Amino acid sequence: MRFCVVGISNAIIDFGILNLLLWLYPTTNTWKTLGYNSLAVLMASTNSFFWNKYWTFQQHSPITFQEIYRFIVVASGTTLMNDSLMWLLGSVFPRIERSTLVEANFLKMGAIIGTMSISFFGMRLWVFFQHRLVKEDRSLADYDTERLPILNLFYDLDTCVTYTLSKPRSGPIAVDVHINRSRRHYPMKTLIIIPTYNEFENLPLLLKEIFSYVPETHVLVVDDNSPDGTGKLAEEIRGQNSQVHVLHRPGKLGLGTAYIAGFKYAIQHDYDAAFEMDADFSHDPRYLPDFLRAIDHAHLVIGSRYIPGGNTPNWSLMRRLVSGSGNVFARFMLGITVHDCTGGYRCYRREVLQSIDLDAIQSRGYAFQIELTYRVLNKGFKILETPITFMDRRLGTSKMSRKIVVEAFTYVLRTRLNEGRL
């Protein structure tokens, strides 16, 4: 809402300056008109910088050189796109180029509509992106959870459930913290489902970390006949550790079907809760105890990158734009109140998995996470989000593809057109 208010004020400034220049210095020259437009956009962008920093995103820290640099990049991109759209519309409607005021404003309106998204996501996800891990030992009680309707962040001071948002500490102190946390006892019978395809390097390291934080849990490796021998390695580990289980599949069948197979395994073997977890360390095992504490008070817990304490420190601007816009699009179109509906670090209670028709789920990639979130909310279950820092994979290559992004987009549109009925 605040960004909309700032956007309206920017549009007024933008239109006002453009019309003032056209009134004072009338012209039918396309390039001169675009020059007027560039000046108007830059003035409006400067206005938005201050209002967005101190009001929309409520950052009260002094302006930094990095923010100025990023603002210049975003403002330049916005201006270029705005000018390009005005030129393109003028080419499509050549009669408009020959006039000076009314038609120029028509072009301007089209250009503003076309650049709203880059302006918002550029400001939110890059210019004023907060690296929240620089603050020391801050609990969720410090945050105003009333800003998160329905899905307020869970924290329980009676059981000392706090989320440390400081940078990892090194040395003996850090080791002691890990040991103490790993000795906690969780009465739930839990299963961590890890789909694998060519994760030979990551798997043994990941399992070691998982058991250091939650030694009582069980792990199910769902391998899609990895050419690098991940499945065979998983079998060798299972022979040494009875808490590791392996499910072999004939080929690369998709992330969604791997998790569905894992969910069915969890139900058949009477697990109380089942995790989704990537094998590439983008889902840090150190958050597992936080999930286990939160699942006592919810039916689904999602590790969120987009709530206070969440972070994506080594992502590029483009990746933030794609992920952020995808979440906003899905939330808006489907009425999802979860902030990170594409996040894949999750913990489901058994009753949730039993109530959902797992065989009816068709999605495979990011759409799979959106679809499950939508189905869980439609069943009336309670969802909580816990902050995580999402890191890029340590070893191996990413399996992200354009096909996965397109699938998520089409799923949202299809579900919306079908009136959201599953």
Q: What whole-number distance in Å separates Cα of residue 73 and Cα of residue 45?
A: 11
Integer CA distances (angstroms), 374 to 154, 224, 338, 365, in order: 21, 27, 9, 15
**How much is the pLDDT for 400?**
54
Cα angle: 10, vertex 333, 381; to 5 degrees? 125
Q: What whole-number distance in Å separates Cα of residue 204 and Cα of residue 208?
A: 6
Instruction: Kindly report whether the global pTM for this prediction surpasses the value 0.75.
Output: no
Complete edge-to-edge strand list for the sheet that includes strand 383-387? 244-248, 218-223, 190-196, 273-276, 346-349, 300-304, 383-387
**How much is the pLDDT for 203?**
95
Integer CA distances (angstroms), 187 to 52, 140, 271, 296, 386, in order: 46, 24, 11, 10, 20
Contact 2, 56 (CB under 8 A): yes
Domains, the chain, ordered by start: 2-129 (no CATH), 134-417 (3.90.550.10)
Q: What is the pLDDT along the chain (422 residues), one digit of tens a residue?
A: 665 676 677 778 877 887 788 778 887 777 787 888 888 888 877 877 776 666 666 666 677 777 777 778 777 877 787 777 767 766 665 554 444 555 555 555 655 555 555 555 555 444 444 443 333 333 333 333 333 333 333 333 333 333 333 333 333 333 333 333 433 445 789 999 999 999 999 999 999 999 999 999 999 999 999 999 999 999 999 999 999 999 999 999 888 999 999 999 999 999 999 999 999 999 999 999 999 999 999 999 999 998 989 988 888 877 787 788 788 888 888 888 899 998 999 999 999 999 999 999 988 777 899 999 999 999 999 999 999 999 876 555 555 556 666 777 777 777 877 754 44
Contact 227, 261 (CB under 8 A): no
Tokens representing residue 126 in the block: 């890059």
Question: What's at 81, amino acid-wise?
Answer: M
- The sign of the dihedral angle between the CA atoms of 108, 110, 113, 115 is negative
Q: What whole-number distance in Å separates Cα of residue 87 and Cα of residue 212?
A: 59
Q: What whole-number distance in Å separates Cα of residue 410 and Cα of residue 66?
A: 36
**How much is the pLDDT for 3?**
56
Q: Dihedrals φ, ψ of 310, to 5°?
A: -80, 155
Residue 123 carries which DSSP code? I
- Residue among 408, 401, 409, 337 at smallest CA distance from 373: 337
Residue 420 carries which DSSP code? T
